[in-house]
Amino acid sequence: MTTSVDPDHGTTTSARPTASAGQHRETMDGNEAAARVAHAFSEVIAVYPITPSSAMAESCDAWSAAGRTNLWGGVPQVVEMQSEAGAAGALHGAVTKGVLGTTFTASQGLLLMIPNMYKIAGELTPAVIHVAARAVATHALSIFGDHSDVMAVRQTGWGMLASASVQEAHDLAAVAHAATLRTRVPFVHFFDGFRTSHEVNTIETLTRDDLTALVREDDVSAHRERGLTPDAPMLRGTAQNPDVFFQAREAANPFYDVTPSVVQEVMDELAERSGRQYHLVDYHGAPDADRVIVIMGSGGDTARETVDALNAAGQKLGVLQVRLFRPFPTEQLAAALPTSVRHIAVLDRTKEPGSAGEPLLADVITALADEADHFDAGMPKFTGGRYGLSSKEFTPAMVKAVFDDLATPAPHRRFTVGINDDVSHLSLPVDDSFTIDHPGLTAVFYGLGSDGTVGASKNSVKIIAADGRYGQGYFVYDSRKSGATTVSHLRFGDKPIDAPYLIDAADFVAVHQFELLEKMPTLDLAKPGAKVLINSPFGADSWAHLPVEIQQIILDRKLDVWVIDATAIAIKTKLGHRINTIMQPCYFYLSGVVDQAEAIPRIKESIDKTYGRRGRVIVERNFAAVDAAIEALSHLEVPAGVVGDQHRMAPLPDAAPDFVKRVTGAMLRGEGDALPVSALPVDGTWPIATSKYEKRGIATDIPIWDESLCIDCGKCAITCPHAAIRIKVAPEAEFADAPEGFKSKNYRDRKLAGHRLVVQVAPDDCTGCGICVDVCPAKSKTEVKHKSLNMEPRREHLETERANFDFFLGLPEIDRSKVRHDQVKGVAQLQPLFEFSLACSGCGETPYIRTLTQLFGDRMLIANATGCSSIYGGNLPTAPYAINAAGRGPAWSNSLFEDNAEFGLGMRLGWEQQNAEARRLLEHVGGLDADLVGELLGADQHDEPGIDAQRERVTRLKEALADRSDATAQRLATLADELVEKSVWIIGGDGWAYDIGSGGLDHVLGSGHNVNVLVLDTEVYSNTGGQASKATPRAAAAKFAPHGKASAKKDLGMIAQAYGDVYVAQVAIGANQQQTVRALSEAQAWDGPSLIIAYSTCIAHGIDMETSMTHQGDAVRTGYWPLYRFRPSEDADAVPLHMDSRAPMGKVADFMGSEARFAMLQRAYPDRARELGDLAQADADERWRYYSQLAGVTRVLPAEREGAADDDQPVTSPTPEPGGTVTPPSGDSGAAGTTKAGE
């Protein structure tokens, strides 16, 4: 059933805000709409990045950096803090001083602000927090929108205003800032994360005069006069006793009592200037409605549209939109509801397990408890439902389902809508055939993160809206890294567009990556007769390469299909794989959405604005791509029928586990929304070793091995970011059934005589970054640029390499005891237990993690801080951590961003307790072989043979316990595996280690406990979009440092060395693989805390990621990143600091000049760049001088260290030797907590 929308038909009561004539119209997203107002009203803005709110803080910082003033002519001071708790503390201090302050946050960030929120509200201090409302991490992290975060602060005493659209985010931001000054009640202004924060829409913007008119200078002056000053000293923040605390808490009541009327007063004043009338609650629908939905946020607009459509068909329905949530508008709620209402469904975008009802439902029932006389038939029946958690779609069909349920004789008392709940049976049936048509044009674009599709789509909305039309853009992407799928939904029309849900039938569909046609539904959204644009490498021959399902859709719907090889144009114009400026003009040309004569100039104007800071060369390359695009377009001739037998969304292999086939497979096919509740784990625990089933196939070129040149060095495998190129050494007999042309070479090693070596690419998992070729040292003496590895077109080798890779996987893994674990060559042959992650192509972080798993993966416990490494390491649908043939592999968990060090320490303490308990039980269980017990308790597990021997003993122990029925034996059986040493690794990025988690990290390093810390240092907040951290170097331009970071980088390694008993290493795997392997092994062997600081190149640096590893070599060579190891020792002559890199050669400027983060500053502010560049060189010179001095200093570790041994026992710590080997401790090396598995 499809319904057209007539907003006036069947609806005689409507409070929908409307735009006034003559206002300035602009196109922006919800974050910018709110941030513009916040910046204008503020003097101090304390910030910390968190998705999806970061853009608000970034915009304010950029505006202040550019000199944009607030309403009073001053430039707001924007300060980046170390955490959201810090931002809230700074905000509290600023407003306490009497200035106007604000901040922006979401999810866990808002929760970290709660203590200060209580204080600010308790002190009746005006302030505003703008929240892009986002799910709070529970069984899993989600970056997407719902109201669980804002509902967690409803008790803090802050007023709460909810916006439902980009326009409202703009308008109600102003209401919040004005109302807080008038009432002294601080306000949270929130809107739905992503659905509103990232939706691009055309709105009517408020002028400075409009904003100024809402401010009463007397209120500003009164706030300033209440500020702390020694010129009129007072005391605030006292400690109170039971005699007065209660009374003082009640003293603020009058301020809250008047707040609703004041908010309405501001809304009325806004309406006088803008023509957009808001109310604390807005009713929309039939004046004699019998069924009403109560809702907050963007879902309200969906409900409005549905009410109009259903009322036009003769029903009597309404929707009540709550805008002021705190203080709750009790009187206004009752007054707004028609007296005819019989049934009310209250929808909450949150879940409170164990509650009688979600928050909005509870408030509505409480508010109406004494209002039975208001309704003709007495008190209405109430139902409560949950919807839209984690940005789950909320469509008109779902709204209809709620109304339909209310019309039944026995409506669900509590329900969910939008999912299939086959466990609690709370979900409502939804008729997906019910849709609402919109006048205007619709388009959907499928692309990959970092190919420019989303950016081009946003620009398209702005270009088209600048033509006097209205536009809406919403962008679907998951939280994984660049290379993940993106879907852009665009609507255009002559009227404002309020449709906060995805397009289900498009006039235009573009597929920017040909492989997506095979991997997911794409053309399924095309209307009959729609135009289709496909980026295809096959040109006129594309039809035969299309999956048969796609061919059938084209035939059945008579689609008008056009193709272009945009990738070839991008390569020719030196744009790499960014095809956005090629596909965008094709859309304009084919759709006719903009006059063709005007389209190209506008696109070029947008390019100039977007890429101008990167230099004229980049702009001209994009111009050339635009000019070449239209000429390269070709119309696809569609034959009469389907040809070929290629299918899309092929089923997973039969060998895949059942869960993977049923659940992971559905998610990979884009069918996760249809999975029932019963299919999903109840506690967030998921299987690992599933990334091998994803098979993205995104590479254009892949490395092809020339075995005749290979020197067996292993550099390619150890630096590959995705474990997509691997090395195996196997007996020659294993190659008897190799596919024709399978390459291998004789392996020169006396211990492995008769073995052959293979270097093999995984053709469907390789991202085509080219790092392996860049680092390969084996060059042809006769053919220029030819190496042992060479990038060649993937499609030309695909079938051959698929067969080769399948055979490669069947070759046996090397016996780990037969290769050296302290050499790159040997480690490269070990099975990686981290593979095919969705990290960005060329990622500089992942080689460290993969190498760790090759060394210790079968016994690792990993605590992973939120950040890039938690997203590519633990973001569904697949997991890159893998298992070996014995079923062992890394056990991984993410808690939060700020607590990772403590979380990892807790893991270590947990293992130590289990190990100690197992040892205790082993001594008391009785009836066991005495020799076995002695060997288990005294096992030397300092190296891999020792670990293997202990595992064999544990197997014998389990066999001996298998038939025992006594409680002690059974308890021991459950703990037996803990007699084998475990390796705890605490992993995270610099945002965690240098900023938000620095306090916890410092405590853990100072604890003396046996944990290992790996800091993946990208020198920027990579996961949230490139904001500066305390790891950001001087002179680098970043978000929150647009004029270049003025201060030097925090020296985390030296801080850790101050403890004396912490093993510390600074490494760069691209510069020195051997030093990295040695440092990881020594850190693992050290009986105490260890810290590895790993230089990690990142796309945020603005480099060619193909050279990611060799670029690290430049960083080391110039002294930008010195390599060292600090090895504590009890030796009387110990010199713990050892420099592993040579004295700098050349200038740091040589290195910095090759990175866009430094070059941008040079282009924009050359004088400042020169000044900061000189200081950066001085930083490097002084650092090397200081380190060199320390490298000659004797420092002895005292014999007793807290946490390393019992108070009455001498410490006998393993001491790393110069060659990287470790001398095991003497005495009882099996004692709990005294040894560490190592190589």
Contact 858, 883 (CB under 8 A): no
Long-range contacts of 571-579 (CB under 8 A, 24+ apart): 571/700, 572/628, 573/621, 573/622, 573/624, 573/625, 573/628, 574/621, 575/621, 575/622, 575/625, 576/1104, 577/450, 577/451, 577/700, 578/450, 578/451, 578/452, 579/451, 579/452, 579/453, 579/512, 579/535
Largest CA-CA distance found in the chain, in angstroms, rounded: 96
Element (H, E) at 944: helix 944-961
Contact 513, 451 (CB under 8 A): yes
Query: Which token pair is 1082?
Result: 């020594």
For residue 843, say whether it is annotated as part of any ligand binding site. Answer: yes
Contact 857, 823 (CB under 8 A): no
Amino acid 954 reads V
For residue 385, say whether it is annotated as part of any ligand binding site. Answer: no
State how far the alpha carbon of 37 is from the alpha carbons of 23, 529, 809, 960, in Å: 16, 44, 58, 72
For residue 476, say whether it is annotated as part of any ligand binding site. Answer: no
For residue 1019, say whether it is annotated as part of any ligand binding site. Answer: yes
For residue 1154, say whether it is annotated as part of any ligand binding site. Answer: no
Contact 1137, 1184 (CB under 8 A): no
For residue 776, say whether it is annotated as part of any ligand binding site. Answer: yes
Contact 534, 517 (CB under 8 A): yes
Written in H, E and C, the secondary structure of 776-828 is CCCECCCCCCCECEEEEEHHHHHHHHHHHHHHHHHCCCCCHHHCCCCCHHHHC
Residue 218: DSSP 8-state: H
Query: Where are the strands (E) in 599-724, listed by range?
Result: 634-635, 701-705
For residue 720, say whether it is annotated as part of any ligand binding site. Answer: yes
- SS3 of residue 345 by DSSP: strand
For residue 714, say whether it is annotated as part of any ligand binding site. Answer: no
For residue 772, say whether it is annotated as part of any ligand binding site. Answer: yes
What is the distance between the alpha carbons of residues 479 and 868, in angstroms, rounded to a whole number?
9
Element (H, E) at 509: strand 506-511
Instruction: Please report the sign of the dihedral spanned by the C-alpha atoms of residue 261, residue 266, residue 269, residue 274.
Output: negative
For residue 868, say whether it is annotated as part of any ligand binding site. Answer: yes
For residue 1022, say whether it is annotated as part of any ligand binding site. Answer: yes
For residue 1021, say whether it is annotated as part of any ligand binding site. Answer: yes
For residue 745, give every residue at least 6 positions away whose Cβ sits within 8 Å of its Cβ, in sequence order, or none: 707, 708, 710, 756, 757, 758
- SS3 of residue 214 by DSSP: coil
Contact 208, 40 (CB under 8 A): yes
Contact 210, 273 (CB under 8 A): yes
Cis peptide before 52 (omega within 30 of 0): yes
Element (H, E) at 975: helix 967-975
For residue 1201, say whether it is annotated as part of any ligand binding site. Answer: no
For residue 180, say whether it is annotated as part of any ligand binding site. Answer: no
Contact 990, 1100 (CB under 8 A): no
For residue 990, say whether it is annotated as part of any ligand binding site. Answer: yes
Surface-to-core class of residue 931, CB atoms within 10 Å of its CB (0-12 exposed, 13-18 middle, 19+ buried): exposed
Written in H, E and C, the secondary structure of 924-938 is HCCCCCHHHHHHHHC
Surface-to-core class of residue 176, CB atoms within 10 Å of its CB (0-12 exposed, 13-18 middle, 19+ buried): buried
For residue 713, say whether it is annotated as part of any ligand binding site. Answer: yes
Amino acid 241 reads N
For residue 840, say whether it is annotated as part of any ligand binding site. Answer: yes
**Catalytic sites, residue numbers:** 51, 84, 134, 1023
Helix axes 1073-1085, 846-856, angle to 10 degrees: 50
State how far the alpha carbon of 183 is from the alpha carbons of 156, 636, 1119, 1120, in Å: 16, 65, 57, 53
Cis peptide before 327 (omega within 30 of 0): yes
What is the distance between the alpha carbons of residues 105 and 51, in angstroms, rounded to a whole number?
8
For residue 51, say whether it is annotated as part of any ligand binding site. Answer: yes
**Tally of CB atoms within 10 A around 676:** 12
Query: Which token pair is 888?
Result: 């062992």
Annotated binding site: 51, 84, 134, 710, 713, 716, 720, 766, 769, 772, 776, 840, 843, 845, 868, 989-992, 1018-1023, 1098
Annotated binding site for [4Fe-4S] cluster: 710, 713, 716, 720, 766, 769, 772, 776, 840, 843, 868, 1098
Annotated binding site for thiamine diphosphate: 84, 845, 868, 989-992, 1018-1023
Annotated binding site for pyruvate: 51, 134
